[in-house]
Every structure is written in C-alpha cells, then in structure tokens.
Structure 1
Amino acid sequence: MYILPVIILYLYVYLGFVVGTTNITTTQFLTDPESLTSNDSTFRIGFFSPFESTSRYVGIWYNIDPQSSTLEVIWVANRDNPLNDSSGMLKISENGDLQVIDGKNTTFWSSNTTATGTVVAQLLDTGNLVLISNPSGLMIWQSFEHPTDSWLPSVKFTVNQETKENPMLRSWKSDSDPSSGSFRFGIVPRTLPEFFTLKGDKPYWRSGPWNGYLYIGIPNMNSEVSTGFNIIDDHEGSLYVAYSVLNRSILERYMMNYDGLVLQKDWDFAAKRWVVKWQSIGSECDVYGNCGAFGICNPTGSPICNCLTGFRPRKVDEWRQGNWSSGCARTAELHCDSTEKKEDVFLRLEHMKVPDYSEWISANDHGDCGNKCLGDCSCLAYAYYSGIGCMIWNRTLIDIQQFSGDGTDLFIRLAHSALSEQSSKWRVIVGVLVITSSAVFVALMYFICRRMKQRRGLKSTAKEKPNIWHDNMKIAAGGRNGEFGDLPLFNLEKLLTATNDFSEGNKLGQGGFGPVYKGELEDGQQIAVKRLSKASGQGIEEFMNEVVVISKLQHKNLVKLLGCCVDGEEKLLVYEYMPNKSLDSFLFDSRHKEQLDWEKRLNIIKGICRGLLYLHRDSRLRIIHRDLKASNILLDEGLDPKISDFGMARIFDPKQDQARTLRIASTYGYMSPEYAMEGRFSEKSDVYSLGVLLLEIVSGKKNHFLYDETLNLLAYAWKLWNENEMLLFIDQKISDPSCQEEILRCIQLGLLCVQELPHDRPNVSTLLYLLDNNAMVVPDPKQPGFTQTKPCSEDGQECSVNDLTVTAVSSR
C-alpha cells in the first residue's frame, strides 16, 4: 500500500521536469534560430552569435529582458568549436547522446552519453540543462557538472583529489569569443581549501582560507559575498562546494570574466540591468604575489609595496622602478638551532590577508599556536583565527596584503637582532624629531619676536611703509638663496622687453592670480608670464606657495616653472609657453571643441590623472592641488594636458589623510562638499574636482550649466544615470557608436569621483587603473554632492569664489 505514493512522488520529482515545456528528444530537434525557455521563462536555450561575431553557438542565457540586445550567457555547449553558418541543430541521437550538428551531420559538440530507451533534454528553472532517461526518470547528464564561465545558485562542485576531478569556471577568450580563455576559477584542494583564479597554471588571485563562514582573505565579505556559501569535506578525498541565495526571487550568479575578474552580478528589476555587487580584484594588491616573496602590499600606500620588517629588497634598483617581483630577503638570519642565546621573536601585523600555502596544526589557543611555531625551526609565521584554529607557514611568505579592516593578525618570525635593530632605528628617529622640533620652535620664537619688534618700529615712524615679504624676496633675488632656492630669477626689464611692456596684444588670458602674457626671450625661447594683479584676491602667500611647490616638481603632465621675478610691487612667475592655451578654451567653445575628438579627450583625462597621481603619491612632496578646473589645465602643441596654477596647493605629510582650513580658496562648482562646508581637504577633495572635470570633458558643458533651471551638470548626470539614459549626456561632437561604451564608462567613473562622502570616492591610482583596464568592472556610484544649484546672478554667470571664509567651524 506504500508503493503507489512512492512511485507518484518519484514521477513528480523527475518527470515533473518535462511537464508543460517543449522538450528536445530523438524526434524533436532545436534548429537554428529556434530557442526554448525554462518552465518559468527565466532561462532560454538556443543558437546565438556573440557581439561582433558571425559564428554560431548553442548556449543558455537569461530570458528576463527579451528586448535587450545583449545576452547574459551562462553556458555554451560548443564554445571551442563554433558553427560557421545557420544550419545548426541541437538533437538527441538514437543512442541517447545530446549533440550539436550542422547541415552535413557533422558533430560540433556532444554530451558523450549513451542510454537505452527514451531520452529527453530539458532546461530547468535553475538554468540547468539535463538529460533524463524515461521512464526510469534517471538524470544521466547535466550542464551544471560541465560549467563554462558561470556559477549559479544550486550548483554543487565536487572536487575529488584521488580522481583529480575538479570542475572550474573557464573564462571566454574575449567578449566576442566564448572559446576557452586564459583564466580558470575554482577550489584548489589544500589543507585549508581556497578559491583561486589561475592564469594558465599560475595563481592570479586567491580568496584566503575558508573558516566555515567566510573566506578570510576577502575584505568586507560579511556584507558582500558570504551568504549561502558552504564547503563540505567528507574526509575521504572529496570536497563539495556550493552556494545558495536565501530569496529565490533574487537572480544572481558568479562569472569568470575574460580579463581574469570574478564577478558577482545581480539583476536589478527596477533598473532592468545587471549590477556588479562584488569583484575579486579591486586594486593591484589583489593580484597574486604583486609584491613578491616577503613583500607586503598596501593599496593606500605610496609605494604600494614594501618589505616586511626585518627584510630588504633583493634587487633595490628594480624596486625603485616599481618592479617588485624579485621580493625581499632577510636582514638577519633566524637563530633557531644556533648557539646564540637570544631566541627568535614574533612581530605582530594587524588586519592582514594571510600568505599563501598555509598549513593547519592542532593547537589549544593562540599562545599554544605561537609556541608550536617557535619550537619548529621551519616555521616562518603563524596566525590563529576563529573557525580555523592555528595556521602556520613553513615556506616563502607570498601574497600578503594590508587591509584597512577585517583580515587577521599575522605573526612574522624574526631574529631578535632584527627587531632590536628596528627599535633602535625608531629611537634614533624619535630623537632626531625631538631635536628638530626644538630647533624649529626656538627659530620660530626668534622670528616672531623679531617680526613684532620690526612692526613696532614701523608704527613709530612716519616713513614710507616697507613690505617685509618684499624685503625678504629682494634679499633672495640678490643672493639667490633663501625663499627661492635654485629657481632662476628673471630681471624685470627683460620680461618687459619679452612681453612688449605687458601689451594687450600679448595677453593670453586672465585668471584669479592676474593676467598672463606671452613673451619671447632674447634667445628665442617662448614663455608665459603670470603677473600678480593688485586687484587679485590672491597675494604674496599664494605667490610664494606656487614658487615653493612647483619649483620642486617635475612631470610631463605638470606645467614647468622656469623662474620668477620680484621687483618692488611687481611679482611675476615665468612658465613654459603652452601654444594651445587652456582646456576650457577648447572644451566650451563651439568653434574649437570639435578639434577634441574622443581619443584626444580620453588622452587629456588620463594625462590629468597621471599628473594628479604624481602630486598625490609619486613626487618628493605630497601635494593637494585644491583648484583643479578646466582653465587650470594647459594644452601643449600636441594637446597633451599639463596641470597649472599651484597658488592654492598644500603640502601634506605622507602620513596625513586630511587637513582643515578656515580660509577656503577654490572655484565654485569644483569644490567638494566637505571642503566648501567644513574646510576639510584631502586627496579625495582633488578627486571630486577631477570628477567634475571628467564630466565636463565628456559632456562639453560647464558644471554651472543649468538643466530645467534647477539641475547643474552633476545633478543632470545623476538623473540620467538613474533613468538609464546616459547617452543623452554625451557631447554630440564625440557621439560615435564605436567608442560609446568607453565614454559611458568614463561618465560612470566621473560619478564615482563626485560622490558626496570622501571615503566613497576612488583614489587617483584606482581611477587610472580602471581607465587603463576596460575589462575591470566599475562599481555603481552613489548620489553626488551639490546636485542642485542656481545662478549667482540673473544672467547665470559662473561664480568664482577665491577667498571664502568659514566663520564657524566645529571641532572634532
């Protein structure tokens, strides 16, 4: 009496797959261009051609947006053997083999299965293509066991170390070629299993060990990618890896990008598009072993690679050039098994991605783990993590990364002398700092007292008022030392001759500093002379600031300061001459903007980024520009950009993240919210200005340009982004379909830069990396700051604010 219900349940589970949907059988074929859908219409199987390709493939893709011209393909049958015409057919042979054939009956792909009786192929609601033997109901083959580049919920990968069975995702060769690419993604079965991306047979990225809940080498995994993951070790040589989604209405998958990225993509039903929720590589530090053996990578550092304490670069010259692949070597050998009395010590590093090749050993707690490592002469480091226990490393330490949070504490084994040497260095540094600070304090007090004495003397006399700054500069001009260092000093008479007495015919333009004139020296060299205007809101402080800052900088994307001149009331800066003036003279002029095609605009964007990256990270000084705008980007004869006007720039300490000022000096429309409202500035305030500039370059409109009388350029871009109408934002002069995707990517990057909160904005190195690597996925932006504005005057002219004072600043 119990047999009938069992049979009914059995038929429901297995034969229920084929009810209500057209199937593929030995007599019912799928012929190009036909397709079939899953029972709930989520997935579709059929013939397709990738973008810009005429080859035909059988694949499975999402069917949620049938109107879309782009297919989100999750599986390809004949990926390495495409059909060259539309005569293809998907059928089941008489012996139960699922095949892709052409009109000549040539087989291009098969499931390599045999079965007796009736065999049916069906696409399930999970996206799994299955072969079912009727009437037994046995599943004899499924596409989930033969993945291409995608991993869907409910897919379980089985890794068998004895049979070497290890299904891995395999990237497409390109976005138009689904054949097997260079990258693979899957579990590497070690003592502590980890996910790896392999390029060929070499590691390209890794997740860090699994602790039963998350992969400890992925920062912020709690909120991004951990939900639903599970790894089961049967302790008999097999691992079972799967992930699921709690809400089945969520459409989600992981995919192996053709450029080596692993992406988590979710379908946004409201916006009707796929959204990247996570990607494996967000910076250079995520690339496996970027800093070599015993090197540590910090994406916010400058440079990003450094040797661990107690180690030094193996090849110093290569490290100075930014090639860190040679790694580092110990400065002092370990004392284990030596006759020296002092035993080795451990250096604690916090928030770390642990190195590769971890091994698990049994230990009661953290202390026990450390003692066992210390007692093993081959142990180079250890870590103790909840859910894993004691991890040790007995070989080269590689692929170590410094996280801003998360990660774990890593303890590096050092010789006692190495740690003592480090402590001695710090004592010396502290001593030098104390002495230097004392000397600076004494000198400062002397200067203040002398200044006050001079002022009292000036007040007591009725003579012509002198200017102490002028006096100091005259001294510098006479002795060629002091304020100007080695910067050449020009004679005023020579500059008057060169500029024809600052004639209107030689005038190149007018800035906040004052007018700029073209000149030609006696030797024929052309120059640009910036003359401080008496009516300028800027003064001697900005003049000296520009002299001090730019005279110490050299980069092809920074304008070169040739010298200066101080003579009485005249204060002049002499620059290299830029024949094409500034970017705004091209970008916002309908007569000239067509000279800036997309290739030139992209080159300008990248050049500005490289110049700004030099200021922020790579120069001898760490500079925050504070006045980045189109008029401060000069163009040479090849339309290559050079950042200019450093009067507002500030020098930052390498360890300083931000500063505050009561005197806000910049241009309205380019100022970040935190700078305009609170006087806080940092690298990220420059990034905000860069984002505004990037959006101006793409749109050909100034930020103060108003749409619907209420929306400025940023607000308009944000509105179009949410409405999925970004094509309307592009300047008609560059609206070429061939570069449309690249332009849209730049708009997205611009919106990332102008996000309201500084920590949401990318740094310049990340921005440049995303510009140079189109395969890298760009995150979705959040709402920009200052998305509404109104004209400062009735005619809507731009407001330029060069000296705004914050009268109430709250302390932190």
Structure 2
Amino acid sequence: MACLACLLALAFVAAEAQQMQSNISQGSSLTPTTNSTWLSRSGLYAFGFYRQGNGYAVGIFLAGIPQKTVVWTANRDDPPVSNNATLLFTGDGLALPTAEGKNYLVSPSGSASYASMLDSGNFVLYNSGREIVWQSFDHPTDTLLPGQCLLSGNELFSAKSEADHSTGIFRLKMQNDGNLVQYPVDTPDTSVYSFYSSFTDREGENVTLNFGADGHLYLLNGNATNIRNITDGGLPTDEGKLYLMRIDVGGIFRLYSHDLKKNAIWSVEWESSKEKCVPKGLCGFNSYCVLIDLEPDCRCLRRFESVNPGNQTSGCERNFVADACKNRNENFTYTMEKLENTTWEDSSYMSLTLSDEDDCIQGCLEDCDCEAVFFDGTNCRKQRLPLRYGRRDNGTSDRALIKVGVPTKPDTDPRIVQPGSKKKARKWIWIGTAIGAALLVMVLSISSYLLRRKLFSGETNPMIENEMLEWMESDRSTDDVNGLQNDGKLGNNLTVFSYASVVAATTNFPEENKLGQGGFGPVYKGKLVTGQEIAVKRLSRCSGQGTLEFKNELILISELQHTNLVQLFGFCIHGEERMLIYAYMPNKSLDYFLFDSTRAMLLDWTKRFNIIEGIAQGLLYLHKYSRMRAWELWKEGRGLELMDPTLKDSCTEDQLLRCFHVGLLCVEENAADRPCMSDVVSMLITETISLPLPTRPAFITIRNVIVSDVNISRRELQIISVNGLSNTTVDGR
C-alpha cells in the first residue's frame, strides 16, 4: 500500500502539471551553447545541459535561484559531452547521437509523444493517451524533492564532489526489510558497515521513504501506515519556500530549505548526524578522521604518508619497507606507535585476553603477521593492514598500536625509506628546476649570516636583534627571564611566552589540536587567555633545527611583520623545547582549498582575485619595502659579506662567489636567460667556464629595459653592460 500511496501522489502531481506546463514535442532538441534547457512553467526548474568539468552533463537543476543546484543527473557516470553535442527527443526517449549510433539517456516504457518539465522538479514523458511512460522521480540520484519517494530496494548515492555529480562513495538504501540505512559504496548490506539506521528492520517489505511538502520525511509500511518519522515536518509550505533532501558528498543526508523571498542560501533543517567524521570511508586506508574546527580532516597513521595529498579518500601508505620481520637484519627493528581514542573496523584475525598493554605490544612484535593491535584494557586484537574506517572518538578508551619499522643504524639499510622521502621525492621531481637547485646552494651557504649582518642593509632593528640574541645565547628558559616577566615583551611587539601559558593555551598539545606537521615539527592550535587564537610551531628535538636556526627564523620573521604575511606573536623556550607562536589562520592554507575538488568550489573568481592581490602585496613588501635586500651587496662587489662567518676558515672564496653568481643567474627576469640544470652543474664544478653577468633578479621591482625585448641575447646584453651593472631604469609594474 505504501507503493500505491507513492504512486497516487505522483499521479496527482502529474495530472495537475498537465494543465499547468507547456509541452515538449517530439523532434525538439537541446545543445549546450544555444537552446540548452527546457524550463518548467515558473522557470524554477530546468531540464538540460549544465557545466561539469571540461564539458557538459544532462540533468535537472534549480534555475530560478542564484545558486544553480543540480537535483538529478542522467547517466551520471558517463563522461561529460562537448559543446557541440545535441540532445534529441524522439518517441524512443532522449538520446545523444554518437558516431556509433545513439546514446539513450532516458528510455520510456512505451512510445513517448511529449514531455514536460514540471514545477515540482519532476521531468515526465507521456504517451499519446497522457499516461506517464517515464519520470525522473522514479530514478533519483542523490536527491529527493517533495512529493518524491524512495521505494523499497532502491538507493541514493552521494556525488563525487560538489562540482562532479558522478557517483560518490556513500549510499542510502531503503532496504527490503524495512530499514533505512547508510553505508559506504561497495560494501555488503550488513550492520558492521552501516553508520546510520532508522532501526525499522522488522517492519517487513514495501516500506518507502516519503517526502512531504512541509519538509516531512517519514517511512510508510506496506499498509500505508507511518512507522517512523525521520523529521517532524510542519515547516512552511508557501510558494516562497523550497525543500530538498540530499545525501551529501561527505556522507551525511540532510533536509535543506531555501527561502525564495529573501534570496537566501540553502539552510540545514535536519541532518542524520552532526558529527562529520561518522560516515565510514570518508578517510581512506590507514588514515583516520579528526574534527578541526568542526570540519573533518584525514590524518595518516604515524610513519605513514598520504598516497595523494589532494584526495583524502586515497588513504595512506608506509614510509618504510616492511619485509624485514621474517628476514632478520641487525640494521632494522620494529617498534609500536600508539594512537589513543580512535575507533576502527575490527577485522582482527586473533583476539587475546590480556590486561597489560606491554604484553599486547610484545605479542604483536613477535608475530610477523601482526601489523597493528587494538587494545581496550582487556582484549588485544591483532590486525593486518590496511586499517579502515578510522576516526577520533574521545568517548572511547580504545587505542591502536601500529607496528612501524625503524633503522637501528640510519642510512645503512636500503629497504628503509626515510620519513617523508616519498613525498619529498615527488615534490622535487616537480620543482627540481635550476632555480630551486641554485637557490638551495645559496641558502645553505649564507643561512645564518644573511639574517645577522649586512643583508639588512644597515637597517636592522638593533634592539630586537641584540636583545633577542643576547637573551637566547644565555640558554635561559622563558619561565625565568632576567629583566622580563613571564609573557613579557621584546621589541617589534614580540611576546616571550612562558611554557605554562603555551601548555594552557593548547591544552597540553592533544592530537585533536594538531594542525599539521612541518619540516621541523608539529603545529598545534591554541587559544590565549585573551581569546586570541594562535598556532604553535613546536620544534622537534630531532628536527635538525638547533639554537642557531631558531634564532635565525625568529630574527627573520620579526623583521617581516606585514598584514599579508602570517604574524609572529612571539616565542617560548623551556629546557629543550623551542616554540614559535604565530597567528592562527582560521581559513587554513590555500592548498587546503585548491587541491580538494569539493572545497575548490568555495573559491569563486572574486575570492581568488582577492587572494592573488593579497599575495602580490605581501611579495611587494618582501621585495621592496622589507629590510632584506638576496642583490645590493653583490652589485656593490661585497658578495663575500654574505658568507656565514663559521665558514671563514674552510671556505674557498672563489667557489662561494661562483655559487652566489649561479644563484643570481637562476632568478633572471627573462626565463630564457636562466640556465638549465645541466648548465648549473657545469657552472658550479668547472672553474674555466666564463659565467654571464647576472641582471637584477625578477623579484626586484625595477624593470630591465634591455631584456624586455626578448630578441636581445645575453651576449648583446653583456656588451651593453658596463662594469657589471646593467643599464636599468625605474618603471612601475
């Protein structure tokens, strides 16, 4: 009876619509660039082409609101079509002509005479007797509209992303046993994989999910009896209010409303879960979900790396080669990394009754098949990789212990992949250009001296530099500052933070407050007693960044305070702890948005242009108005003053100057003048090679009149240059 009720509701909508809608006759066609849609009578809904990726998809969307919202897609997993495609309506349905014939997107149960795009959002095909032979309401994708039903045995599948409406990784199924359940895709319909249920599994067959005009989502059994209210309903039903139910990209299904009168955005009226880490499969293998500012973020297991940093569902892989368990090697050993308060899918192959964690650890270390264990205080469950469906759950005492390989003698076992090296290798393949290589040589040679002497062109702030260096060289803790109280001030408005204040601000550095892992240690979110949000860069003891590097970074950044640069508030030293306190960036870094297909949609052109302008303003400050000027010393023949004083006794001056020279050639404004990598190597190791004279680097805000003509070669440029100085003129960019 529930199916009958659903059909009666649709029949009423269709009968009413026949009197209200204009008909689409056989032979009508659409193209992406000209006549692209068939509109409903009010213009609220449209059937036709919409942009997807580099082409077009065919579907139904809300055309009458500023936010074009797709509610149905035909053959959603087909590749997008080109802008010269044609959609043709025939008696056999809707087809895209192809070289092989016709690709039918809609195939009715009988001959179709005409079609209508209804104001309900339903696209309907009729035969000559005005009977429905096909309707989109019978074939939902990820969305239900008021008046629509999800029949027993049918499913909704999430979209891949906000911009890509092909099938995603979550599903909502109206099961034949009467239960409405959410699962990851490609999993059996069993409770171990579910992450939402209506708990109506004993209500029998023919239960349907129904959607009322007042926002009411409810289940009817085979006798048309309401067996469960998913939402309460009772929302306004006037013509100025729209509703839709959708299983979102993130796996949670929600009831949305949109107020047409106020030109508003979609608002959430109800959601299956307020915990965005609940959907299983949101994070890929060997990674777990953590909420950061109520948004889900996928973290790799320790000693694991992301397979694809731009795709959280890609999961993580080891950064070590795990074949040494059975092949004993004195240069290699295993240890167990602990991960507290996490839940995972239990796919254990053995469970031991143990109350001691050390016994659980030892049992895994002695078992070559064991790659992880879950320990809850009484049971030790041995696991093989990969682990999946992991998420942070502070309500559980469960902990995961992961077996990881570590070298006993670093760099002696070729099977050991040093942490981070996979990622770095991929990165350097991309950016391993002449510029990067030569600048790296320069940075290694002059790192500390650039910050402490004439690179500042005599314009350093002596108070901050002298006070900071004198104070830090005394190796004192910020908890006992002579002449400064805890959380006192240095120059440049820098604060000397006490260790206690930093611990309090970060609530003792818990994993859930971790924002990321930098090259020299983790970064944590915190909040000062003033309410100011901060990011704490906690330098690892084994990071390789010692007191000298810490001083350099502090001095450098303190001199570079600018509205378009991340602000440094201060620092903290406590024993071996070295911490830098920055302003917290609530919108995260740019790559968080750009390399995620869903979040990228949040950055429209206006936002991106504003970001571009902000970056440009920051660069202008660094290159023109800050006190550091990587060219003036070279131009004045004082290049040796760039040398780190610790190299004074060991440095070969000619080689040092050659490194500086090559570095400047690698940042020439005219890209054609920059040497390739093979030339860079030759320039560095062959002293007999005569090096061309460098011109001002591209980041100097002076335009080189000569090189603006790309037809002038470097040889001609050298002839024009006098005494090593290029003929230049100041010109605004």
Which TM-score bucket, shorter chain as reference? 0.3 to 0.5
TM-score by length of 1: 0.39
TM-score by length of 2: 0.42
